[in-house]
Amino acid sequence: MSTKPSKTRRAARTPAKPPVPRPGGKYLLRLFVAGATTKSRQAVLRVRQLCEVELANNCKLEVIDIYQQPKLARLNQIVATPTLIIEFPPPLRRFIGNLANLAGLVVELDVITKGKIAL
């Protein structure tokens, strides 16, 4: 009797999605704007105000100009600006438009209001 070594097959590992970088429990926000227009500036001011007042600076905000970084716009499937993407905490959420309704953003972010934002 000859004994052949048994051939075992291992299941191929499927590549996992790289995890979204967790900035130490902070909110991770990405704001996509189109140039230095009035709407873009207002959106940046509103989101910064949201970060300062409602999130108590417990967030990392990345402002991305789609004219300067069109690859990021394509990668994130941006079809209109301004667009705010909340990447962390999950689930990923998108807000498209002038971001005038900060109360709606606060509800979606599920934070306790610490102060009022005057618009």
Q: Is residue 7 part of a domain?
A: no
Token readout for 109 is 């972010």
Convert the pLDDT of each residue in 42-54 to its tens digit. 999 999 988 888 8
Q: Is residue 45 part of a domain?
A: yes
| 3 state SS for the chain | CCCCCCCCCCCCCCCCCCCCCCCCCCEEEEEEECCCCHHHHHHHHHHHHHHHHCCCCCEEEEEEECCCCHHHHHHCCCCCCCEEEEEECCCCEEEECCCCCHHHHHHHHCCCCCCCCCC
Convert the pLDDT of each residue in 3-36 to its tens digit. 665 555 554 444 444 444 444 568 899 999 999 9
Question: What domain range is 70 assigned to?
Answer: 27-109
Q: Is residue 115 part of a domain?
A: no
Q: Is residue 89 part of a domain?
A: yes
Q: Tell me, what CATH number does 33's domain have? A: 3.40.30.10
- Looking at the 3D structure of the chain, how many domains does it have? 1
Query: Can you give the length of the chain in residues?
Result: 119
Q: Is residue 67 part of a domain?
A: yes
